[in-house]
Amino acid sequence: MPNILLTRIDNRLLHGQVATQWTNVLGANLILVANDEVSTNKMRQGLMDMAAPNGVATRYFSIQKTIDVIGKAADRQLIFIVCETPQDVLRLVEGGVPIKKVNIGNMHMAEGKRQVAKVIAVDDSDVAAFKKLTELGVELEIRRVPSEGTEDIEKLFS
pLDDT in tens, 133-148: 999 999 999 999 999 8
Active site residue 108: no
Catalytic residue among 11, 12, 15, 64: 15
Mean pLDDT, residues 9-31: 91
Residue 20 has pLDDT above 90, yes or no: no
What is the DSSP code string of 89-144? HHHHHHTT----EEEEEEB---TT-EEEETTEEE-HHHHHHHHHHHHTT-EEEE-S
Q: Check residue 1 and give its pLDDT.
A: 87
Within a 10 A sphere around the Cβ of 56, how many other Cβ atoms? 16
pLDDT in tens, 52-103: 999 999 999 999 999 999 999 999 999 999 999 999 999 999 999 999 999 9
Q: pLDDT band for 115, please (50, 70, 90 cuts).
A: very high
Q: Check residue 19 and give its pLDDT.
A: 82
For the chain, which domains are there?
4-156 (3.40.35.10)
Q: Check residue 18 and give its pLDDT.
A: 72
Q: Check residue 82 and give its pLDDT.
A: 97
